[in-house]
Amino acid sequence: MSKPLYLGELLLYWCPSCNVPVLGKECSCGAATSQVTITPPGDIRPAFKYELDLINKLSIQQFNAPLLTDERVVVMNKSPYDDRMDEVIVDGEVIATIRFELEQLKWVLLLRLNGARRIFDNADHKTLKSWVSIDAGAEKFILGGASVLAPGINDADPSINVMDEVVVLTHDGKVLGTGRSRMSGEKMLEKGKGVGVKVRFKEDPAEITVPEGGQTWDDVVKANENYMNDFIERSHKFIKNVSSSVDRPATVSYSGGKDSLAVLHLVSECLDDYELLFADTGIEFPETVQNVHDVVEFYGKPLNIISSGDAFWDSVDSFGPPSVEVRWCCKVCKLGPITQIINDNYENGCLTFIGQRKYESSTRAKSERVWKNPWVGNQVAAAPIQNWTAMHVWLYIFKNDLLYNPLYEEGFDRIGCWLCPSCSVSDLVRLKETHPEMEKRLNDHLLSYAERMGLSEEWVKHGFWRWKDLPAQLKEIAKKKGIDIIPKGSNENDLNFAVTSGYRPCKQGGISAEGGFDGPVDLGRLELTGMLEAVGKASYMEGVAMVTIGEDRAQVFASGSVTARSDSDRDARRLMKKMELSVRRALFCSGCGVCVGKCPQGLIRMKKGLAIIKEGCTHCGKCIEVCPVVKFNS
């Protein structure tokens, strides 16, 4: 399981008088608040109806009773996990967690003790499900940290299956703990040997008092008025200072998501003269595209829009499915088009306010609030809500009754490209329910790709396609379920190369070319052999190798995609060809040694049957010309 990640201060408190969440130590009513213990990074947000219904659906399926029985404010907190996991916060405490378990490919409700007490304390447990009653003599051992052993089980729900979530009861029916079964209920009743329940939470039985419900998000907005006014004022000041100091036209990058919506409204409160930018990647949700047009109509500002059309589907066969490590689709479908928007509409570039927040990722937490994007020429980017949590954003949206994307109410906590590899498998499962035709197109493509690579349908179903190198937890799941994750269908000796996106003007100067191999490239092999030095000065980072020679630049991604930039179409083609051949040399070097004698500087040596280019290469490329591996491709 992923470790907690601290990206900023944990800002969830609760007012005992108003019974609502507050973003600080004092409620607007004047009462002191209590901090709620949540898992970092603490990017808290409201629970919408879909999530509330999901929580109760799981609770009824697992325990035969709903967890949430009346109207009250519920806060969700996304926690680090293999896929998606959210803490459920009610009345100032975490009462449960819902998580999508990849091994079982389903949502599971994990009760905390007070969540279990809300269900079991006022009911006959015989009418409920997934309970285990233990002998009085076993109770102290459970409280001491022991598992529930079969001999100590007094009674149990016979319908319990192995790996079900269960509630552990005392001999007189009080909640003592919660955990996961290690044997079936029928097996527990046999009172044999072995662990019956692995206990996760345990505590002496206690009576709980459930505060009166009926609170609404309007009440939450009111309770947080002072904190919100402070955050809004600081964002206004930031926007005004940046716009006055950067002598470029002001724009807002609107994506159809909540964060960019909040930024748009903040900018509208500060500036009269600004325009909107929207890059339609061609793989946007239809609701997102509609929301963009609705929002543009509401604000009445010019919209500069560009669509990538079928660029993703035109490229995916050559590049392969995008992955978390290498999202080639961002450059093809988003960064390139955004650059084109700016080039076409702003001669000297523009200032763009964007909805970046530090609570989203460690990369964004380390980012400056004002910067120049190396991928988008002539744009200065600025982040007015860098220090906001998702709760700040939603309270601002509720306060101003803004037109937010309806997909948030349908179970999607992040809005972007609907097939993004960074989304969770739970999102893809939800996609099948909300947009079955779109999910089918993706799934059909992935199944076809898996078949070519000698991989199984389970490899697709469990979302392993989203990684070039699976994290350890996912490798363990694959091993346990016998899912092969090593491609077999591709023959490296037949690795084909194609230019997929043609040659387009590049803002940095010259022409940008994009192409790719029809399989992944071993960047470690490239670095080991130093073959890219024959083209230019090579550098390596996670998922990409970069080559520079003068003002020209080329990149090779682990996915197999290649980009090259030069002054002309002809030179870009030549650079792309050198990159292709150098990659082939590294991958398929036969150790013949022909290149050793051809190097004018004597900087190539043989090591363990491989030609290695040593430091000091002048990038003349003569070793490329004589290599038998590539001479027929020259």
| pLDDT reported for residue 558 | 76
CA torsion sign for 33, 36, 42, 47 is negative
Query: Of residues 90 and 524, which shows the higher confidence score?
Result: 90
One DSSP character per residue, 290-351 reads HHHHHHHHHHT--EEEEE-TTHHHHHHHHH-S--SS--HHHIIIIIHHHHHHHHHH-TT-EE
| Those residues with Cβ within 8 angstroms of residue 381's Cβ, 6 or more apart along the chain or in another chain | 253, 352, 353, 354, 356, 370, 371, 372, 373
Q: Hey, what's the torsion of the CAs at 253, 514, 556, 445, to 10 degrees?
A: 80
Residues of the chain with CATH 3.30.310.10: 492-633
pLDDT above 60 for 496: yes
What does the DSSP assignment read for 130-177? SEEEE-GGGHHHHHTT--EEGGGEEEE-TT--TT-EEEEE-TTS-EEE
When the pLDDT of each residue in the chain is averaged and rounded to a whole number, the result is: 89
Residue owning tokens 């680090």: 80
Helix (H) or strand (E) holding 74: strand 74-78
Radius of gyration, alpha carbons of the chain:
29
Quickly tell me which residue has 């650079």 as its tokens. 575
Share of the chain above pLDDT 70, in %: 92
CATH 3.40.50.620 boundaries in the chain: 224-406
Would the pLDDT of 629 be above 80? Answer: no
**Per-residue pLDDT, 65:** 97
Confidence of residue 505 (pLDDT cuts 50, 70, 90): low
Residue 605 has pLDDT above 80, yes or no: yes
Question: Do you find a cis peptide bond into 41, omega within 30 degrees of 0?
Answer: yes
pLDDT attached to residue 501: 47
Architecture of the CATH domain 492-633: 2-Layer Sandwich (3.30)
DSSP summary character for residue 594: H
Of 435, 402, 396, 430, the closest CA to residue 414 belongs to: 430
List Cβ neighbours of 396 (8 Å cut-off, separation of 6 or more): 228, 232, 262, 265, 266, 402
For 349-371, the DSSP string reads -EEEE----GGG-HHHHHS-SEE
C-alpha distances in Å from residue 352, one per residue of 277, 288, 393, 498, 580: 9, 20, 19, 35, 36
pTM metric for this prediction? 0.81
| CA–CA distances in Å: residue 393 to residues 44, 85, 295 | 10, 21, 17
d(CA 525, CA 548): 19
| pLDDT for res 507 | 47
Maximum Cα–Cα distance across the chain: 88
pLDDT at 288 over 60: yes
Q: At what angle do helices 390-400 and 225-245 cross, to 10 degrees?
A: 90
- The pLDDT of residue 85 is above 60: yes
pLDDT surpassing 90 at residue 521:
no
CA distance 471 to 486: 14
Query: How many whole angstroms separate alpha carbon 575 and alpha carbon 513?
Result: 9
* 352 DSSP β-pair partners: 251, 381
pLDDT at 536: 93
Mean pLDDT of 24-39: 95
pLDDT confidence tier of residue 394, bands split at 50, 70 and 90: very high
Mean pLDDT lowest among 5-9, 122-126, 318-322:
5-9
Nearest by Cα to 67 from 48, 51, 84 = 51
pLDDT at 262 over 80: yes
| Beta pairing class for 106-111 and 131-134 | unpaired
Class of domain 122-206: mainly beta
Is 375 a residue whose pLDDT tops 70? no
Indicate if the pLDDT at residue 290 is higher than 90.
yes
Residues 6+ apart with CB under 8 A from 577: none
160-187 pLDDT, tens digit each? 999 999 999 999 999 999 999 999 999 9
pLDDT band at 278 (very low <50, low <70, confident <90, very high): very high
Pairwise pLDDT comparison (57 vs 598), residue with the higher score: 57
pLDDT digits over 397-426, tens only?
999 999 999 999 999 988 999 999 999 999
Every domain of the chain with CATH number 2.30.130.10 lies at: 122-206
Between the two ends of the chain, the Cα-to-Cα distance in Å is 49
Inter-helix orientation angle 425-434/436-453, to 10°: 130
Question: Residue 57: pLDDT above 60?
Answer: yes
Q: What is the pLDDT of residue 491?
A: 43
Give pLDDT, residue 374: 61
Inform me whether the pLDDT recorded for 506 exceeds 60. Answer: no
Q: How many CA atoms lie within 13 A of 159 on its CB side?
A: 10
Q: How confident is the model at residue 199 (pLDDT cuts 50, 70, 90)?
A: very high
Tell me the C-alpha distance between 380 and 373, whole Å: 7
Residue 87: its pLDDT value, please? 97
Please, what is the angle between helix 390-400 and helix 258-270, to 10°? 60
> What pLDDT was estimated at residue 563?
84
**Which of the four pLDDT bands, split at 50, 70 and 90, describes residue 249?**
very high
**Ramachandran assignment for 40, one of left (phi > 0), alpha (psi -120 to 50 degrees), beta (any other):** beta
Cα separation, 99 vs 87, in Å, equals: 9
Q: Would you list the DSSP string of 420-434?
A: -TTS-HHHHHHHHHH
Beta strand pairing status for 34-35 and 148-149?
Answer: unpaired
Reply yes or no on whether the pLDDT at 18 is more than 80: yes
CATH fold of 224-406 = Rossmann fold (3.40.50)
Q: What is the pLDDT of residue 361?
A: 62
Least confident of 390-394, 446-450, 480-484, 517-521: 517-521
User: CA–CA separation, 175 vs 119, rounded Å?
Assistant: 10
Task: For residues 391 and 383, give the distance between their C-alpha atoms in angstroms, rounded to a whole number.
Answer: 17
Above 70 in pLDDT, residue 275? yes
User: Is residue 6 very low, low, confident or very high in pLDDT (cuts 50, 70, 90)?
Assistant: low
**According to DSSP H, which parts of 84-135 are helical?**
113-120
pLDDT at residue 490 in the model: 41
- Confidence class for position 527, pLDDT limits 50, 70, 90: very high
